[in-house]
Structure 1
């Protein structure tokens, strides 16, 4: 073993001290076994200080750098539940209303969200492109419901997200739209409720300062000599003090205005408010027209029979909604209506307005109290018994309902007789008018079954029109 001189030994120790730094300073005595043991032990990381490996949260179409807070807290499996084509329209973006524009989209439903693609090929290609971001909708905290007010189309439901986005979805296939509705609703129900607020935008509001706080600020500002800020604080102080008085004054004025407003009957007597045709009950419209069949219904039927019996897809093809709303406004304002005018030359506008009239009746043409009876009648196996039961129910209807139904179905029978030209059979007319003329008062989970019965009831009355209405004098 080589021996070192004292000077070399000191130089060696000095060099070692410079290289090891703070670790060398903690060694009290190299000859102490206890200290050596403690020194070596300090180089081992304890269990609670071990560095954990990052958790892999790879998801389709997302990189790890784009994880949201909701995904970290609630890492749900993004498996595809359902996919297919639906009509989609976005009508609100974070609470801001948008113009409705229907487009056919390939919808992909997963456990957490809905993604929108142009077609299935784009959806498949998106999964192979790292970092690709498609248009999507977060279902956490979303709300789904059927709607009839947002569109004239049938089978429309709306989804409102927690961030204020609103989407409409529609399909003409009844069973398909019902499957989509239940699949999305089940996906929303499975998501945790407490996560619903994560996707919402945080709203920060400046709290109004109390009078004491404003006075303290005023004193500080006055000492610093900032006259502009001082004037601002004085204004805020005066506003805070008089705010309660102003609100009470506004409430008092509103209360007086509401108490002085004229009644609805007074406005109707003065002619300022007129009875509406669309949205009013059938009995009121007939009473106003002085007949048992609304005049608007008669005008539409005459126009269709004059120039629409041979039109392909009559009553099935939708007319321009803006023009239909314009026609509705003219009718409600009791302006002279001439359906031969050039602005109503599209016969689908007339048929669309007629369907809208029956759809917006507070109580359908087949009254609610008769719905279950008609459903039970259509279930009868023997055809003769089924037709006789249907005839008895029709004859029990109120006079405006019976007469309007007789006129309407006589017209639809003429449409069906031209089926070779317009391609509208009794079955097709039953699909179009079934949910419009006949519906339950409260929607239940058996809507798909009811739709079948609704269509069959209308189809049967069309096919057996002479038997059901033939005994009555025309």
Structure 2
């Protein structure tokens, strides 16, 4: 018996090793013996045997779950590899037709085959891929409406996406080429006639998860006709965007607008009927005087008369600020040409009157000292000889338009009266010059020499105040 066992062992040692034939260049199979009536084949997870006439794809030998490389979409399906991704500004303004408070956030946006995915940053995207339970905010683009908008935000380059369930999102980027590419890509996906699931089933060479067979490569069938989405059923007006008569509707609207514009009354007609009234504040001095038929605006005369009646001895007159709300109310009454009584109790504070007068001069489109004379007045104040300086300034004043010249004369004569009560109101020539320097003159274009210009403005005002009798004379305006 022992000899027989030795002989068998020697025979087995001499036999060549068993070589298994290759199995289509794929995965080796292993056979497990069981006590049951039949035997079954156990294969690795990636084992797929394609048909002989169809070349198979390289087999992925990594045993990582495929769901770790894809992001779950709506309905539990898998989305394809992201097409593009970048940082964009995102705001959700409506959910199911209910408006939400607009809150802009910088978001890492990923565009997949039929969804938009929003992450806090690109690091979170990687974290979501590793942890399938940690889902990102998804936007289904099937049946969505994509368009540019300027009404929903004051920002530029804003893209509005309205989903089929009534959710509205805004995407924005300061870089126009970037947001334009996103607009084109999202629009293409939103206008596709079939859903993401249909596209997956139409792909050739897909594997059924419940079978060991490999589907043969076949030609994808034509997609079914697009059914009306839920939004078009809920909001029938939205179908106008895709209707065939859209161009006709636009032409009709344009024609109606043209007729309305051609028939509307002119500005002059509306002014004659009193429907539109010109403002007083912010109106050009020449235009206002021409409209009122005078060389000094009526409002300036009223303010000066009221200040001289009860404000010459007020402490800090023209230096102390009045209540801004009351000043704005006075301005509104003047612009609306309402009956104005500056002696009313609501204008009891004299600083409201002086504040409104200074506001009138500050809001002139062109200052009391016209732009073209600014440099000439600056050069005149540089004259060293005092007598010659007075004559140069007087000559420039006489060259001003009559409304500017007469208004300036009335104002500086009024300021002379303020200085005559300086012991009571504590206002000096230098103090009034600081107040009225930047109020009555400024350059047309800011050259960056604001501090230098302010020095010259104050010097010009102070010189005219001191020499006002010589420059303007004693005749009343």
* TM-score between the two structures when normalised by the length of structure 1: 0.52
Residues 429 and 462, structure 2, Cα contact 8 Å, conserved in 1: yes
Query: Equivalences for 1:74-223 in 2 at 5 Å?
Result: 209=187, 213=191, 215-217=193-195
Distance change in 2, residues 1:253/1:316 (3 Å): farther
Residues 232 and 239, structure 2, Cα contact 8 Å, conserved in 1: no
Per-residue deviation, 1:318? 2.0
2:465 alignment counterpart: 462
Residues 210 and 240, structure 1, Cα contact 8 Å, conserved in 2: no
2:118 alignment counterpart: none
Deviations 1:79-98 (A, max 9, x none): xxxxxxxxxxxxxx999xxx
Distance change in 2, residues 1:300/1:234 (3 Å): closer
Per-residue deviation, 1:429? 0.9
SS in 2 for 1:266: helix
5+ unaligned residues in a row in structure 2: which ranges? 1-86, 88-101, 105-153, 157-172, 200-222
Matched, 1:314 2:292: no
1:393 alignment counterpart: 396
SS in 2 for 1:216: coil
SS in 2 for 1:318: coil
Distance change in 2, residues 1:460/1:227 (3 Å): closer
Residues 381 and 459, structure 2, Cα contact 8 Å, conserved in 1: yes
Deviations 1:239-263 (A, max 9, x none): 4235555444434433332232211
Matched, 1:443 2:446: yes
Residues 214 and 237, structure 1, Cα contact 8 Å, conserved in 2: no
Per-residue deviation, 1:219? 11
Distance change in 2, residues 1:216/1:459 (3 Å): same
1:285 alignment counterpart: 288
Query: Equivalences for 1:311-460 in 2 at 5 Å?
Result: 311-460=314-463
More helix by share: 1
Structure showing greater Rg? 2
Matched, 1:240 2:246: no
Deviations 1:379-430 (A, max 9, x none): 1112121122112221222222121111100111111222222222111111
Matched, 1:298 2:266: no
**CA RMSD of superposed structures (Å):** 4.1
Deviations 1:359-396 (A, max 9, x none): 12222111222211111110111212112211222122
Per-residue deviation, 1:287? 2.5
Query: Equivalences for 1:16-31 in 2 at 5 Å?
Result: none
* TM-score between the two structures when normalised by the length of structure 2: 0.52
Residues 214 and 233, structure 1, Cα contact 8 Å, conserved in 2: no
Distance in 1, matches of 2:443 and 2:457, equals 10
Distance change in 2, residues 1:270/1:437 (3 Å): same
1:6 alignment counterpart: none
Per-residue deviation, 1:293? 1.4
Distance change in 2, residues 1:248/1:217 (3 Å): farther
Task: Give the paired residue count.
Answer: 286
Distance in 2, matches of 1:231 and 1:389, equals 78
5+ unaligned residues in a row in structure 1: which ranges? 1-68, 70-92, 96-159, 163-195
Distance change in 2, residues 1:454/1:161 (3 Å): farther
Residues 275 and 332, structure 1, Cα contact 8 Å, conserved in 2: yes
Distance change in 2, residues 1:371/1:214 (3 Å): same
Distance in 1, matches of 2:342 and 2:249, equals 54
Per-residue deviation, 1:458? 0.8
Distance change in 2, residues 1:197/1:215 (3 Å): closer
